[in-house]
Amino acid sequence: MKKQRFCRSLTQKFTYWRHYILGRSEHFLAKKILSNSLLFLFKNPHDSKHPKRATVSRSMAKSVNTHGGVHAVVLGWIYKKRSSVLFAIAIVSLTGVLGHKLYNQPQLQTGTRAPQTFKAPYASSIEDKKQTEAQRKAVSKSSVTVLMIDTQTTEKIKQSLQKILAQGNELRNTAGSFPFFDISVLSLNTQQYLRACSDLEWQAILLALENSSKQKLGLLPKSKTNLPQQQAVQEEFRKNHTSQYLPLFPLSKHSTIPEKNSPSPNIDSVNVMSPWSSGAVQSVEVPQTNSFKQAVAELNTYRMSTSVENLSSLLEQISQVRQAYSQAKAQLLDLESNNPETVYKEPVILDLSDDDWAKTHTEISQIADRILTQGIPEGLPPEILQNAVNRHVQTVVPNDAEALANKLLLAVLQPNLKKDQAKTQQQAEQAEKGVSPVMVSVKRGEVIVQKGQKITAWQFDVLEHYQLIRRENNWQALGRLAVLVTGAIGIFIWVEKRIKYPLRQRDRLLVLLLALSTPGAIAMGIIHTSWSAVGLLLGSFYGPTLGTTVVGLLLLTIPTSLEISKIVLIAGTAGGILASCTAQRLRSREELALLGVAVAATQGSVYLILSLLMGAAFGGSWYIVFQEAGVFALSGLAWSIVALGISPYLEKLFDLVTPIRLAELANPNRPLLKKLATQTPGTFQHTLFVATLAEAAAKKIGCNVELVRAGTLYHDIGKMHDPLGFIENQMGGPNKHETEIQDPWKSAKIIKRHVSEGLVMARKHLLPTAIQAFIPEHQGTMLIAYFYHQAQQQAQADPSVKVDEADFRYDGPIPQSRETGIVMLADACEAALRSLKDVTPEQALTTLNNILRARWQDNQLVDSGLTRDEMSQIAEIFVEVWQQSNHKRIAYPKLKTSNEKIIK
């Protein structure tokens, strides 16, 4: 309650100071003239039909005449031509804002010939803009390009690296684990040799191992035997030992075995039989290398330290390892044939131990991550990248794997840095700002340009500095723009005449101010202008048709004189049209807030889609387009919030009613309605039933239902000045008009006062004019028949008594709109409908038609706009509502109560 009283007090003070500023004080003639001018300009065109308003206007005009005939003539002309004056103001203001660049344009331009010789009137230092701009461009071009990591390229490089490493893992899995045996028995080099040596070398190792075994057992003769005896020994050894290890190269009958005393482990070669020779099998001599000798020695050492079964198991394991190694080498050949650029062209990866490969695998990934994190720029010389890779590899990768690691990294690494457009531009701009302006000293009397000489850009700047440029308005372009603006305003007027609710002068002024906000913001350099706010406010105040018209006309006129992107223009218009078409359908501030979000999404989406269609989002600046779309969406939301914030103030200042404000006024918790329900409960119940009837009729014939509901709730608030003077509040008690007053003239005055007192209360509580209109117009100039007949009876009894019908008629005005006309009919029919008992709907309809016909014949609905057909529909709707509120109920049986039942 305290908050409401504070707001009411603040509003009243604002109204007082507004009237005071407009010149309510008679001590200041100028303020009086201004106030009267505004009153004439923004006066409702229907005021001439209202007797009281016309009286006020005449008295005001008379007051003005006393101050001077000139002022009276001026104000009278303004009053008569108020529409034309506002039309001219609209043309001038819109042309001025749209064509602001056409004013004060220089007559002399670069490239034109000087009409005279111009000299410097005084010495000065002038900036050479061309040289300054050239230096700034040079600094901007020479500024260092800011690079950024290209995440997509980096990810592709990492994927390629992992793919190659996975191929290496697959090759090593085929070759098997390495080392495959205990390195304390067989050294790493020996195991590597045993896997990779040729089959002939492996056969020679087995023969050498066989000979060593035979010599130890003493199976060989001291001297060389004949061939048959050698063959017998070889067959026996092959049968007992070597058949399982030499499946591909069986010992032939021509193989020679050294004698027992011959030092077979130390000879330089071993003779084995070659199966590839044509005809007879020939003996092939296998050279004994250091690796061969070391392998034989280590195997002999192991043979002497272990059992025959362990040696056989080792030899079988070596045979299996050799087969796996051969398969891995075959895969290498296939990989090279399918992809000549593969890094696995040599079996180096197969010769690394498992530990070395695991370390190499890990370090290669880490080296790639470090190099890619630092970034590889475009145009980097290959030797620099190779040196960087070598330095990383030498410190962490095993020696045997350095070559492979270098080759692998250089195969996948490529430039992953790209230009950071935003930071590069920002750095260039900062560099440009750091360039000092190039100043040129001009002496007094120095010739700037000779007569007839073409004016250069530098000379134009000097003339501009000394204000020697002849400036004038481009009247021709302004005239063309004024014609365009006039055509746009003409279209607006044409649309205005076809909407349901005619605009007042103050409404046209508000439309003009809102329309000026958009080009005004663009003229000030604000491209994210008030499209959404204009559409939301106009759509909420005057409907979608008018709002869409204004936004569409702005779309057509703004590009003709203001520089603005087409994408921005279309996206802003889309948001404004959406707000215009939707705002009046909403019934709460929350819904309007959601509309602001929808407008923001529309503006951002349209901006982004148009940018994609025009190709602006392709290339290096795509992220800037997305950023601009986001900013444009946020600007639409911001302007919607601004519109929501100023909407209540505009409603108060321009006396507007919106669906949301009407819903707020119809809230029964409003102080005035709560007071009406408390002090005059009968009137309040009457008001609710009248509101039900009027709302149903308004919905049927397409009137403003919210306005009818709110206006009906306040139409009888004046009865609170004397509640017992109205029969619905007497609650069956004595009628004061019959017991106390007993004077029809006084009684009629009391009844009529509920209209004047209601207007006083409405103004005190700052109700809109549209709501206040229901208070006098629902009664019109109807006759207070009951007391008028009483007065006639008294006049018949006493001929000296004169009865004037005007004393028993309301002061009016009669209904000026369909909405107030509906409420008049509902108010007249409410008492009749309540009094109807046990009648048919046809009888009720006949009664209501008689009441409505009486109002029509009394000329109470002449200015309302209601037709006879609509009145017939209204009567039918009233009967339907009456039937719904007076439906029959079930007759419950009466219960007979006996004494026995009572006792029980």
The pLDDT tens digits for 159-195 are 988 988 888 888 889 888 888 888 888 888 888 888 8
- Kindly report which listed range (302-316, 502-516, 828-842) carries the lowest average pLDDT score: 828-842
Rg (CA), the chain: 54
Cβ(823)–Cβ(703) below 8 Å: no
| Paired strand residues for 447 | 119
pLDDT exceeds cutoff 60 at 761: yes
Query: What per-residue confidence (pLDDT) applies to 621?
Result: 60
- Kindly report which listed range (238-247, 330-339, 854-863) carries the lowest average pLDDT score: 238-247
Cα of 329 vs its chain's centroid, Å: 61
Residues 6+ apart with CB under 8 A from 269: 285, 286, 287, 288
Per-residue b or e along 213-227, where b marks 16 or more CB atoms closer than 10 Å to that residue's CB: bbbeeeebeeeeeee
pLDDT exceeds cutoff 60 at 114: yes
3-state secondary structure 297-354: HHHHHHHHHCCHHHHHHHHHHHHHHHHHHHHHHHHHHHHHHHCCCCCCCCCHHHHCCH
Residue 56: φ, ψ to 5°: -60, -40
Residue 510: φ, ψ to 5°: -65, -40
- Kindly report which listed range (149-158, 241-250, 807-816) carries the lowest average pLDDT score: 241-250
Q: Scanning the structure block, which residue is given the tokens 């650029």?
A: 341
Side chain identity, residue 607: Y
165: closest CA among 364, 459, 374, 380?
Answer: 364
Q: Scanning the structure block, which residue is given the tokens 């199976």?
A: 219
Query: How many degrees, rounded to 5, is the angle at CA 379 between CA 378 and CA 381?
Result: 130
Residue 127: φ, ψ to 5°: -75, 130
Query: What per-residue confidence (pLDDT) applies to 191?
Result: 86
In angstroms, rounded to a whole number, what is the distance separating the alpha carbons of residues 620 and 624? Answer: 9
Q: At 75, list the tokens.
A: 């104000």
> In 10 A of CB 320, how many CB atoms?
11
In angstroms, rounded to a whole number, what is the distance separating the alpha carbons of residues 413 and 376? Answer: 8
- Mean pLDDT for 255-281 is 42
- Kindly report which listed range (87-101, 222-236, 604-618) carries the lowest average pLDDT score: 222-236
Query: What per-residue confidence (pLDDT) applies to 423?
Result: 84
Residues 6+ apart with CB under 8 A from 783: 805, 808, 809, 858
With bands split at pLDDT 50, 70 and 90, how would you rate the model's confidence at 5?
Answer: very low
pLDDT exceeds cutoff 90 at 404: no
Residues 6+ apart with CB under 8 A from 569: 555, 558, 559
Instruction: Please spell the DSSP secondary structure of 580-621, one letter per residue.
Output: HHHGGG--SHHHHHHHHHHHHHHHHHHHHHHHHHTTTTSSTT
Q: At 613, list the tokens.
A: 């269609």
pLDDT exceeds cutoff 80 at 500: no
| Mean pLDDT rounded to a whole number for the chain | 78
| Paired strand residues for 284 | 272
- Mean pLDDT for 10-30 is 41
pLDDT exceeds cutoff 50 at 288: yes
Instruction: Please spell the DSSP secondary structure of 173-202, one letter per residue.
Output: HHH--SS-S-TTTS-HHHHHHHHHS-HHHH
Residues of the chain with pLDDT > 90, as a percent, come to: 16
In angstroms, rounded to a whole number, what is the distance separating the alpha carbons of residues 769 and 819? Answer: 14
Alpha-carbon dihedral sign for residues 739, 742, 747, 749: negative
- Mean pLDDT for 218-245 is 43
> What is the pairing mode between strands 282-287 and 269-274?
antiparallel
Q: Scanning the structure block, which residue is given the tokens 């279209």?
A: 491
3-state secondary structure of 439: strand
Residues 6+ apart with CB under 8 A from 161: 364, 365, 368, 408, 409, 412
236: closest CA among 260, 210, 215, 262?
Answer: 210
Query: What per-residue confidence (pLDDT) applies to 255?
Result: 37
Query: What per-residue confidence (pLDDT) applies to 447?
Result: 86
Phi-psi region of 801 (alpha: psi -120 to 50; beta: other; left: phi over 0): beta
The pLDDT tens digits for 72-84 are 666 666 656 677 8
In angstroms, rounded to a whole number, what is the distance separating the alpha carbons of residues 118 and 115? Answer: 9
The pLDDT tens digits for 535-547 are 999 998 988 999 9
Residues of the chain with pLDDT > 70, as a percent, come to: 79
Cβ(856)–Cβ(872) below 8 Å: no
The pLDDT tens digits for 647-697 are 889 988 998 888 888 988 999 899 999 999 999 888 899 899 999 999 999
Query: What per-residue confidence (pLDDT) applies to 598?
Result: 92
Query: What per-residue confidence (pLDDT) applies to 494?
Result: 92
More confident residue, 10 or 578: 578
> In 10 A of CB 268, how many CB atoms?
9
Q: Which of 215-229, 610-624, 818-832 has the highest mean pLDDT?
A: 818-832
With bands split at pLDDT 50, 70 and 90, how would you rate the model's confidence at 332?
Answer: confident
Query: How many degrees, rounded to 5, is the angle at CA 638 between CA 634 and CA 642?
Result: 170
Task: For residue 263, count CB atoms less than 10 angstroms from its CB and return exposed for 0-12, middle for 13-18, buried for 19 or more.
Answer: exposed
pLDDT exceeds cutoff 80 at 619: no
Task: For residue 601, count CB atoms less than 10 angstroms from its CB and return exposed for 0-12, middle for 13-18, buried for 19 or more.
Answer: middle
From residue 658, how far is each of 647, 654, 769 by CA, in Å? 10, 12, 13
In angstroms, rounded to a whole number, what is the distance separating the alpha carbons of residues 818 and 777? Answer: 11
More confident residue, 705 or 738: 705
Side chain identity, residue 233: V
Q: At what angle do helices 531-542 and 589-613 cross, to 10 degrees?
A: 140
389: closest CA among 361, 372, 365, 367?
Answer: 367
| Paired strand residues for 270 | 286
In angstroms, rounded to a whole number, what is the distance separating the alpha carbons of residues 205 and 203? Answer: 5
Query: What per-residue confidence (pLDDT) applies to 284?
Result: 53
In angstroms, rounded to a whole number, what is the distance separating the alpha carbons of residues 333 and 330? Answer: 5
In angstroms, rounded to a whole number, what is the distance separating the alpha carbons of residues 656 and 527? Answer: 30
In angstroms, rounded to a whole number, what is the distance separating the alpha carbons of residues 542 and 547? Answer: 7
Q: At 553, list the tokens.
A: 């006309």
The pLDDT tens digits for 440-490 are 888 888 888 888 888 888 888 888 787 777 667 778 888 888 899 999 999
Cβ(781)–Cβ(824) below 8 Å: no
With bands split at pLDDT 50, 70 and 90, how would you rate the model's confidence at 514?
Answer: very high
H runs (alpha helix) in 181-261: 188-196, 199-217, 227-237
Cα of 811 vs its chain's centroid, Å: 56
3-state secondary structure of 124: strand
Query: What per-residue confidence (pLDDT) applies to 20?
Result: 39
Q: What is the pTM of this model?
A: 0.57
With bands split at pLDDT 50, 70 and 90, how would you rate the model's confidence at 890?
Answer: low
3-state secondary structure of 716: coil
Query: What per-residue confidence (pLDDT) applies to 226?
Result: 40
In angstroms, rounded to a whole number, what is the distance separating the alpha carbons of residues 567 and 576? Answer: 14
pLDDT exceeds cutoff 60 at 612: yes
pLDDT exceeds cutoff 90 at 713: yes
Phi-psi region of 63 (alpha: psi -120 to 50; beta: other; left: phi over 0): alpha
With bands split at pLDDT 50, 70 and 90, how would you rate the model's confidence at 272?
Answer: low
pLDDT exceeds cutoff 90 at 584: no
More confident residue, 47 or 306: 306
pLDDT exceeds cutoff 60 at 258: no
586: closest CA among 651, 512, 661, 515?
Answer: 661
pLDDT exceeds cutoff 80 at 702: yes
With bands split at pLDDT 50, 70 and 90, how would you rate the model's confidence at 709?
Answer: very high
